[in-house]
Chains A and B, each alone.
Chain A
């Protein structure tokens, strides 16, 4: 399983990667901003994308919209505190697969992986 982790916070990327490692995922690529994520998506193949919502420059919503515009149905999970109804609706309309709400535990992440990336 190859996972793309997108977050402008190096700390949050480390936290997510540590959680992924703890559930057995080691093939992980990092992107520090939305544009880097889109560039990586175009040059590589991923089984899952975990992206922050709020990032300077291109946001998680921008990443989601641009990837879905290519016709890709790769699972995209927003890792965020933003779960207000209007934001959820906007993300669903843009094609988000699911949310992982901060704070989260490794078990929460494992449940998402099991659901969207079957072994």
Chain B
């Protein structure tokens, strides 16, 4: 990643990988004290999720796209316990709110690391249900960043439309 990123030097999804990797590792490290390690990234524009829960947040303005964080129930419960001190027993409103906030923080922190002016972040949406599919639609370049830690697997899918 260039030291100062500009819209002109962002031409592919790979140019945006570093801010999202740094954002994700930083948030889990600082807020939860967890070390999450990046595995092998995958490019595709259509992922069949193996997760129970997806947190989705959109970018608009200078960059148009969507990020999706995917995690399973046990990972979400462990994160909720680390955040709040009590382990949930079901995927309730608080767990869903937490996943939305994680998406918000990962997206927002990555946006700050990009240092591109005029990028706006939307409000997070959370989808819950085993085997749900997230499609980024035609024209989007998508990269899936898989992270692992002692509590399981977390994916961050970044889909950007370059026009």
Q: Which residues of A contact B (CB under 8 A)?
A: 9-12, 14-15, 18, 54, 56, 80-84, 86, 101-105
Contacts and interface: CB of A to CB of B under 8 A. Distances in A.
Contacts of A10: 94, 97
Interface string B69-109: 00000000000000111000000001001101100110011
Contacts of A12: 101
Contact of A15 (B83, B117, B121, B123): B83
B108 A14 contact: no
A11 B98 contact: yes
B83 A18 contact: yes
Contacts of A81: 105, 108-109, 111-112
Interface stretch (B23-31, B36-44, B152-160): B23-31
Given A54-B121, A80-B108, A102-B109, 16 more contacts: A10-B94, A11-B94, A14-B83, A18-B83, A56-B123, A81-B112, A82-B112, A83-B112, A84-B115, A86-B117, A102-B27, A103-B26, A103-B27, A103-B29, A103-B105, A105-B31
Given A9-B97, A9-B101, A84-B117, A14 B112 contact: no
- Looking at chain A's contact residues, the main secondary structure is loop
A103 B94 contact: no
A11 B31 contact: no
A82 B108 contact: yes
Contacts of B29: 103
A9 B102 CA distance: 11
6 contacts: A11-B83, A11-B97, A15-B83, A102-B105, A102-B108, A103-B26
A71 B140 CA distance: 49
A15 B100 CA distance: 14
Contacts of A80: 108
Can you list the 6 inter-chain pairs with the closest CB atoms, starting with the nearest?
A: A81-B108, A103-B30, A103-B27, A11-B97, A103-B31, A11-B101
A7 to B, nearest CB: 9
A56 B84 CA distance: 24
